[in-house]
Structure 1
């Protein structure tokens, strides 16, 4: 069965009030949560396993000069949840995290601005920013998904599913509410880059 944007309508403010308004989801192939934390400058020995609810609750108690995130393994990928964070769309982090592998991330801030990134081995292959459109020509690898989305490129709303659909296409991971809520995340503070 081919996924459609409507398949991700479950990711809503009603179901995830403290996450859907401002989040960043990042997928990195071939790394462990500990390796990902180390690439971001964190100390994995300081991290703690948490549920999604604990991750969200704890993240809102941290200052703006740090990032609080949780990472879990899904198949060959590490999946990162940042409530109200954006490390996964920072281009310096993208280069570091995708070195030798693939990164896919999508982000929504509290003002509703959405971003989508796909990077292979430090090179950004495709970027979409809701207010600006696509960074470059749409690569052939995602052209069919973009056609299925059937949306104006300037209006990519993750809450309506397109960013989730693109992430699924590029990672092979179908994010579900059960997967999001049922995973255990290795969580902790990452210093924000200066």
Structure 2
């Protein structure tokens, strides 16, 4: 795989992107964007096509009352991007979106916190905080250890680290071209969100206030 440090260095581009301060990127091996959107609790029939900067601006403007996700096909994968509120950290969303397939999700916030998740066929197998990769949860917490080995977890920037691991797990190399083109921007709707939840997972409370619209 080459030098772990050089792998991480390839992903410094993220610091020049619209989600340099905070974001959540989920890569689902599935090309049916509508199906992926519904797994996240979003309503794709209310989607609007925007470029990435427009999506991020709208997500930021609506963050106090509404979750938005942006979806774009990347070959055999679908990228789900989030600028705020992070539906992609919910175990229900990860389980639903990975049913019959697999996914990787990474997230980070302005405080420097972040995490990595790997789910396969409705099962969240590995999750860890990027600052403490030694402490992992999931049904198979050590499954990715051979792939995680060799990356400088305590000596490199955290978001590029997670993107480097994403590349190892998925075989897809993250790059600024991920954010090119149009994103189907969809509101997350409480009724859809609840329906998408895995009935075997308990989740107390909602991130939403019941609204499901765009800013005026």
TM-score, structure 1 normalization: 0.85
Match of 1:190 in 2: 188
Q: For residues 117 and 64 of structure 1, what CA distance do their matches in structure 2 show?
A: 25
Match of 1:127 in 2: 127
Match of 2:76 in 1: 76
- 8 Å contact 2:42–2:69 — kept in the other structure? no
Task: Give per-residue Cα distances to partners, 1:42-96, cap 9 Å, x unaligned.
Answer: 2212101110111111111114342111100111111011012311111111111
How far apart are residue 151 of structure 1 and its match?
Answer: 2.1
- 8 Å contact 2:70–2:184 — kept in the other structure? yes
Output the aligned Cα RMSD: 2.2
Secondary structure class of the residue paired with 1:42: coil
- 8 Å contact 2:103–2:118 — kept in the other structure? yes
How far apart are residue 21 of structure 1 and its match?
Answer: 1.0
Structure 1 residues 63 and 11: alpha-carbon distance in aligned structure 2, compared to 1, 3 A threshold: closer
Question: 2:111 aligned with 1:111, yes or no?
Answer: yes
Question: 2:178 aligned with 1:180, yes or no?
Answer: yes
Q: For residues 112 and 124 of structure 1, what CA distance do their matches in structure 2 show?
A: 23
Q: Which runs of 5+ in 2 are unaligned?
A: 194-205, 207-216
- 8 Å contact 1:127–1:135 — kept in the other structure? yes
Q: For residues 122 and 154 of structure 2, what CA distance do their matches in structure 1 show?
A: 28
Match of 2:151 in 1: 149
Aligned length: 185
How far apart are residue 187 of structure 1 and its match?
Answer: 0.5
Match of 2:13 in 1: 10
How far apart are residue 181 of structure 1 and its match?
Answer: 3.2
Which of these two proteins has the greater Rg computed from alpha carbons? 2
Structure 1 residues 132 and 148: alpha-carbon distance in aligned structure 2, compared to 1, 3 A threshold: closer
Secondary structure class of the residue paired with 2:81: strand
Task: Give per-residue Cα distances to partners, 1:18-51, cap 9 Å, x unaligned.
Answer: 4111100001112422111122232212101110
TM-score, structure 2 normalization: 0.77
